[in-house]
Structure 1
Amino acid sequence: MSFLASLITAGFGIGGGVLMLAMLASLLPAAAVIPVHGLVQVGSNAGRCFLFRREIYTAVMMPFVVGSLIGIVLGGLFVVQLDAGVLQIAVGLFILWSVLFKPPALMRKSAGITGVISSFLTMFFGATGPFVAAYVKSLELNRVSHVATQATFMTIQHLLKTFTFGLLGFAFSQWAGLITLLILCGFLGAMAGRLVLLRSNEVVFKRILSIILTVLALRLIYGGASSLFASGP
C-alpha cells in the first residue's frame, strides 16, 4: 500500500497520502494513526522532492513555511486523544469531502493561508494534500513542477507535524521498524510513479482513484459507527 500510495502521488500529484491514511486508520491504534502517518509521509514526500528537485517552484515556499508553523502551533494546542470510532468516522468524512468538493477559494489564493489552514487540520486528520493541491493547481505549473512543488509543501508540513508530536510525547521508537519499511517502499513507489507521470491516462486514473477513495471512506465510516454503537453510551 505504501508503494501504491507513493506511485499514485508521484504520478498524479495527489491521492496517495489519503490512501495511506485510510489504510493506517484501519490497522493501527487510534492514537498512533496521525503521528505514524505524518512521519511516513515525510519520507515519502522527501523522496519525490529528491526525484523532482530541479522542478520545484521555490518562490512560494517561505509564505507556506511561515503559515505552516502558525497552523502547527495552533493545532498542537488543541490536539486531543479521540475515540477510535470517532477518528475513523472523521477520517472517512474528510476523505469523502476531499473527493467530492473543493477547498475554499480564499485558501487557494495564498500560500500562507494554505499553510495555516492545512497545517492546523493535519494535526487532526493527517492527510491534507487535497487542500494544498488546490493551491498548487492555481499556480498553473507544468505537470512535473506541480508534483515537485506539492511534494515539497507536504514534506515541510509533515516534518513540522512530526516534530510537534514528538514534543507532545508520542513514542515514535516503538513504530520505527514499520515506519522504515513504509518509507523504503514509498520511495520505490515514487520511482515508479515518475514513469507513470509521463505515460498514464490521467483522466481515467483519477476516476478509478476517486472510486477507491470513496469505498475506503465508506468502509471507515461504517467501521467507526459500528465501534461506537458496540461500545454503547
Structure 2
Amino acid sequence: MIAFLPPELAQSAAIILLATSFLGSFITAAFGIGGGVAFLAACALLLPPAAIIPVHGVVQLGSNAIRAIMFLRHLIWTALPAFVVGSLIGVAIGGSVVVSLPGWLVQSVVGVFILWVVFAKPPKWLSRWPLVTGLMSSFLTMFFGATGPFVAGYVKTLQLDRHTHVATQAALMTVQHGLKVAIFGLLGFAFADWAVLMAGLIACGALGTWIGKQVLGRMSDHGFHRILNIILVLLALRLIWGGVSAFL
C-alpha cells in the first residue's frame, strides 16, 4: 500500500483514515449525521493542509452517493432541484473568493444555527427554501469542509421518517460535494496523486454505510430523532467552542 500513497502521507496515517472513513459512514447511516465531521477532523490532523478539503470532498461525495443509492426508494426528490440551483450559486461564489471567511466566525454561526434548529421552532420558510440552504451551505463548504450539520438542520425541518431523512440528506450532500470537487479540480488540485487512497476510503465508507443501514432498520423513528438531536447539539457546541477559542 505504501507505494500507492502520496509521499507526504505515512502508512499509519492512511490506516487511521481508512478506519475513520468506515466509522464515520456507519455513524451517518445509522444516526443521520456526524460522520462527515469526524472524518474531517481526522483529515485535519493527518493530511497536508492543501489536501484536507479536496480529499474530504471526494470521499464524502463517494460515501454520500453510495448512501443515497442504498436508500434511494426513500428519497424525497422534490427537495433536489432548488437545492442544486442554490448549490451552484454557492460554490461559484465560494470558489471566486480569494480571502476566506474567518474560520472562527463560520464555526460559531453554524453552531448557533444548529442549536436554534434543535431547540427552537424554526419558521416555516426554512423548510420551503432549499435554494437558500443550498446556496449558504455550498458557499460555506468551500472554506469549512463539513457542512452536513447545516444541511441536516434544513432536512430536520421537513419532519421526515428516519429512512427518508437519511436518504434526502445523502442526496443533498452528494450534490454539494460533487460541485465542490469540480471547483477544486478547476482550481488545479492534483486529485490523481490521491486516487488510490481515496478509492480505499470510499470503499471503507461503503462498508460502514451498509452496516449502519442495518442498525437504522432496527431503530424507531423516535429513537432516531432523539439520537440525531443529541449528535447535533454535541456538534454545535464543539463548533461554537472551537470558534470562540480561535477568536480568543
**TM bucket by the smaller chain?**
0.7 to 0.9
Report the equivalent of 1:21.
Answer: 40
User: What CA RMSD, in Å, does the superposition of the two structures yield over aligned residues?
Assistant: 3.1
Distance 1:219 1:138, change over 3 A: closer
CA separation of 1:107/1:174 partners in 2, compared to 1, >3 Å: closer, same or farther? farther
**C-alpha separation in 2, matches of 1:99 and 1:140:** 15
Question: What residue number does 1:229 align with?
Answer: none
Match of 1:46 among 65, 89, 97: 65
Aligned to 1:71: 90
CA contact (8 A) 2:32 2:228 kept: no
Percent of paired sites with the same residue? 51
What is the rounded CA distance, in whole Å, between the counterparts of 1:160 and 1:145 in structure 2? Answer: 23
Aligned equivalent of 1:36, options 24, 44, 55:
55
Which residue number corresponds to residue 202 of structure 2?
A: 183
Q: How far apart, CA to CA, are the structure 2 residues paired with 1:2 and 1:94?
A: 26
Q: Does 1:111 align with 2:127?
A: no
What is the TM-score when the length of structure 2 is the normalising length?
0.76
Report the Cα offset of residue 109 of structure 1. 3.6
Does the CA-based 8 Å contact 1:4-1:16 persist in structure 2?
Answer: yes
2:146 aligns with 127
Equivalent residue number for residue 62 of structure 1 = 81
Rounded Cα–Cα distance in structure 2 between residues aligned with 1:218 and 1:2? 24
- SS of alignment partner, residue 38 of structure 2: helix
Q: SS at 1:127's partner residue?
A: coil
C-alpha distance in structure 2 between counterparts of 1:217 and 1:130, whole Å: 10
Report how far residue 220 of structure 1 moved: 7.1
Aligned residues: 222
The residue number in structure 2 matching 1:154 is 173
4+ long deviations beyond 3 Å = 79-82, 89-109, 200-222
TM (normalized to structure 1)? 0.81
CA distance in 2, matches of 1:113, 1:71: 9
Letter in 2 for 1:125: F
The CA distance in 1 between the partners of 2:25 and 2:62, in whole Å, is 10
Match of 1:9 among 28, 42, 46: 28
- Are 2:100 and 2:143, in contact at CA under 8 Å, matched by a contact in 1? no
Partners in 1 of 2:214 and 2:180 — Cα distance? 30
- The one-letter code sitting in structure 2 at the alignment partner of 1:18 is V
